[in-house]
Structures are given as C-alpha cells and as structure tokens.
Structure 1
Amino acid sequence: MSTARGLLHRDHRWIGREVEDTATGRRGILRAIAPDGDKPRPVAWLLPKGGGMEWTTDPAALDNPAPLTPNSRPEPES
C-alpha cells in the first residue's frame, strides 16, 4: 500500500530495492511512485541496476523485490 509523500510522490515499501516489472519482464531499482506528466494515476519509476534509461510502469506490475541485505540501501526518509 502506498501513502502520500509530498510533491505528489507516494511511499512504497520497495522504494530503493530492485524489483521486477511484470509488464516488461525487466528488473530495475524502484525510484518513485509519482505522476508522469498530466496522467491522472501515479506510475512506478524504475532505473536499471548499474544505470541506464529510466522507465515507468503501472505500480500493480511490480513484483519479486530483491531481499533486504546488510548492503541494501533503501531510499532515505525525507
């Protein structure tokens, strides 16, 4: 579940973790749940691990988060 976070961003328990985008089959780091331009629903913003071109997907398409480890660095709280 997500909640309001500010600047129209939403909290999500997987932000900062590598997740699967089931719509594309790609994996990436979940950077934000936020609007994309003037679209009415927020989207998930993903970045390929190691860098590259960010992409968006429906938050409902997120699955299989990487396990938390001592080296995991979730995005800091604001």
Structure 2
Amino acid sequence: MSSARSLMHSDHQWLGREVEDTETGRRGILRAIAPDVEHPRPVAWLMPTGGMEWTTDPGALDNPAPLTPDTRSGEGQ
C-alpha cells in the first residue's frame, strides 16, 4: 500500500490483477484496498470470475498474475 486515494481507497501495485488470497486459497481480481463497515482498517476487495466479491486482509495477498497488455494495474507500474 502506498498513498491514499479518493473515498479512502489506497493505491496498491496489484490493483486490477488476479491475486491469491492466502487466507482462503481463492483467487480473484484485486478491485480495491478500502475500508469496510465491519473492519476498522482497510481491507482488500477481491472479485472472482463469475462470483461474489469478498474481503481479506491486504497482507494475505500473494502470487499476482503476470502483467499483460490487458492488465489494469495499479499506479506506478
């Protein structure tokens, strides 16, 4: 995580990339690092292909998919 963005969202180098949630073993697209009403600190928002979005601790993110021309990566890439 680096600088703050609008709506209390934070930048992350893997935004827009598929990543692993090591707490669940699931993979999804990292959509945001932002607050959640149920958690006092920002959480990672992940969206699987054809499924329901879930949240996890940003520290649980690992194994990002390789960058491709179609990847919508975070700023600073």
Name the TM-score class by shorter chain.
Answer: 0.7 to 0.9
TM-score by length of 1: 0.86
Q: Per chain length, whose mean CA-contact separation is higher, i.e. which structure has more relative contact order (CA < 8 Å, sep 6+)?
A: 2
Unaligned runs of 5+ residues in structure 1 are: none
Unaligned runs of 5+ residues in structure 2 are: none
Shift of 1:75: 6.2
Match in the other structure for 1:51: 50
Q: CA RMSD in A?
A: 1.6
TM-score by length of 2: 0.87
TM superposition outliers: structure 1 runs of 4+ over 4 Å: none
State the percentage of identical aligned residues.
76
For residues 58-73 of structure 1, the aligned pairs below 5 Å read 58-73=57-72
SS in 2 for 1:7: helix
Distance of 2:57 and 2:38 partners within structure 1 = 15
